[in-house]
Amino acid sequence: MVLILLLPVVVAAILSFTDYALGNDTFRWVGWKNYSHLFTRRTYEKMFLATFTYVVTVVPISVGLGLGAALLINSLGRFREIYKTIYFLPVMATLLAMSIAWEFMLHPSIGMINRTLELGCGTLFEAIPLIREGCADRFPVWLGDKRYAIWVISFIGIWQGFGFNMVLYLAGLTSVHRELYNAAEMDGAKSAWEQFRLVTWPALGPTTVFVVTISCIRAFQVFDTIEAFWPQGGGPNKSTYVMMFAIFEKGVQQNLIGIGSAITMLFLVFVMLLTIVQCWLVERKVHY
């Protein structure tokens, strides 16, 4: 663990205070200059905005959908395994390959999504040709418009991640004993909502801590989709310029190891603080 995990972190922390680049024999100690750039330059402001927008959007929705899908599948008597497999398929698929498929579906002229919108728009306004033509002209360029790019990436992240959360919640539901529901019903909790609120949700406390923590870490690590859609720039007007892509761009493409290491350290600090806060807040109410 020291060689594989701790030593690289220490090396990155040291390099973040330098202007080192691969191939150079020497480097200068620049102190806090790299970190100062992260909080003063417009590009990195966009990086923080895109990263936190993605995390705040993807984590709660993917966790909520995962819990809802787990409860629905757990209540099924038949076809349970079929639905479980269907929802888990995006998790097993290679996200880079699925990004290419999404890129075709989101194409502004031949993509399935805009073609479907065009069909629906034509049906709705079939009696008014002028409105139909105007409606067709307003279909968004999903991957080329800064207003939609981050939300498209967030949608794909939710689609790809909630099946994993579903499986974790299904595992957690197996540990909830039926006797607890019977006892709650005898005490007056007869509706499904009351049983969920008083029995299921408290019993899923440890699972929820784990699911939220893992979902946050996975959300901070988003990279494949953005690299597949915009390999040269992190989206239109840097609207999807998340931290992992910035690390790749600065540290690998531009060989700016110093600033890339600074972003890496900031990334690790955010993930660590978020994990600690979640564990401290949520585990206080966890029922083991």
Secondary structure (H, E, C), the chain: CHHHHHHHHHHHHHHCCECCCCCCCCCCECCCHHHHHHHHCHHHHHHHHHHHHHHHHHHHHHHHHHHHHHHHHHCCCCCHHHHHHHHHHHHHCCHHHHHHHHHHHCCCCCCHHHHHHHHHHHHHCCCCHHHHHHHHCCCCCCCCCCCCHHHHHHHHHHHHHHHHHHHHHHHHHCCCCHHHHHHHHHCCCCCHHHHHHHHHHHHCHHHHHHHHHHHHHHHHCCCHHHHHHCCCCCCHHHCCCCHHHHHHHHHHHCCCHHHHHHHHHHHHHHHHHHHHHHHHHHHHHCCC
**Residue 128 included in any domain:** no
pLDDT tens, position by position, 136-171:
456 778 888 888 899 999 999 999 889 999 999 999
Domain assignment present for 270? no
The CATH number for 217's domain is 1.10.3720.10
For the whole model, what pTM was predicted? 0.85
Segments forming the whole domain that contains residue 37: 2-106+142-261
Residue 268 lies in a domain: no
Among 59-73, 105-119, 234-248, the range of highest mean pLDDT: 59-73
Asked if the structure places residue 251 within a domain, the reply is: yes
pLDDT recorded at residue 123: 57
229 within some domain: yes
